[in-house]
Amino acid sequence: MAGIRSIEPVVTVITFNLERDGGPDEGGQPPQRWRDAHELLNEHQPDVLLRQEMTHSRDKGHRRLHAAEQLLKMRGFIGAPGTGNNPTGLFVRPSLFDVHQVFEHAPLWRTPPTHIIASLRDVPEVPIVMMSWHLAFNAPRGREREADEILAAADKTNAGMAFLGGGDANEYPHPTGELIPPIDWTSPKITDRMHMMHRTNAGPDGTRVSCTYADKTLLGAGLHNPARYAAHTLHQPDALGATAGWTKPGQGGKRRIDRDYADPWLINAVIKVEVIETTGISDHGAVKTVYSLAGMVEALRRNITALDAYDLAF
């Protein structure tokens, strides 16, 4: 990815679950893992950052949130803590985006999303719905309700708005077109029975079936996952790489559970997707989606034909 900004102006979106916000303070300051994470993020120059597990970023008057703003030179927002006390966050680069509204969500969510309305300065007349989410780790029905709420926000595209969101889905992509085979929940290698119940539903014959509701619902509604688009349209198969689970064979091993989504106009502006290696920093890789700035401008103005809904029978 080095040098991509020298080729053409771009807008970079990163979604990143930094495990437990890097840990508690050390000597009154954010720990080394947190500092390493933000150094890594700065190397990749995000313009929109969708964060999960901002565990300590509400403490002491949001001190760590403001420290991240200063380090990244971005404007930051943080969601309500929820029952898991592990809030989401969202950052935008103020030289590119203006922020017009910030929403708070009802207790329906285990971890409420961070949800704003922004606009690209080059296209101030078009609102962009931006969301950072972390779906319930423990409840298939909870994730279904949360995905339906994401869809309610994305429905604003019918009123001329744009949509850009993502996060840790805590469940799997629809298997069609994926590179990582689905988990065989009957395998003796699956030893974490609690995790299996968190991430599966009972099939017609009683066997366990992986939860894919969020991905199926968002794709079915006409949103697009940039990694799929990059892999199948831009010939970048590595975009479909795993983002978590490398060290958890008893849970099914490596999986692509961190995903972002764009509306059917914006998706045409995607030029690159990659999974950023974060070993030693977090148990999740970061997903980096790069958009052409010129393409994003045309997409927001809807001068680009909307991409047809993804064919789940691909």
pLDDT, tens digit, 9 for 90 and up, residues 132-156: 999 999 999 999 999 999 999 999 9
pLDDT single digits (tens) 159-209: 999 999 999 999 999 999 999 999 999 999 999 999 999 999 999 999 999
Distance between first and last Cα of the chain:
29
pLDDT at 314: 58
- Examine the pLDDT at 3 and tell me if it is beyond 50: no
**Calpha distance 284→294 (Å, rounded):** 31
- Examine the pLDDT at 63 and tell me if it is beyond 60: yes
What average pLDDT does this structure show over 80-109?
95
The DSSP H or E segment spanning 262 is strand 258-262
- Examine the pLDDT at 313 and tell me if it is beyond 90: no
Determine the Cα angle at 106 with ends 100 and 108, to 5°.
Answer: 135
pLDDT single digits (tens) 197-251: 999 999 999 999 999 999 999 999 999 999 999 999 999 999 999 999 999 999 9
Task: Annotate 214-232 with b (16+ C-beta within 10 A) or e (fewer).
Answer: bbbbbbebbbbbbbbbbbe
pLDDT at 2: 42
**Calpha distance 176→164 (Å, rounded):** 23
Higher pLDDT pick, 5 / 51: 51
- Examine the pLDDT at 5 and tell me if it is beyond 70: no
Q: At what angle do helices 59-72 and 32-44 cross, to 10 degrees?
A: 40
Place of tokens 């099939």: 203
As a whole number of angstroms, the longest Cα–Cα distance in the chain is: 56
What average pLDDT does this structure show over 53-66?
97
pLDDT single digits (tens) 290-307: 999 999 999 999 999 999
pLDDT at 106: 80
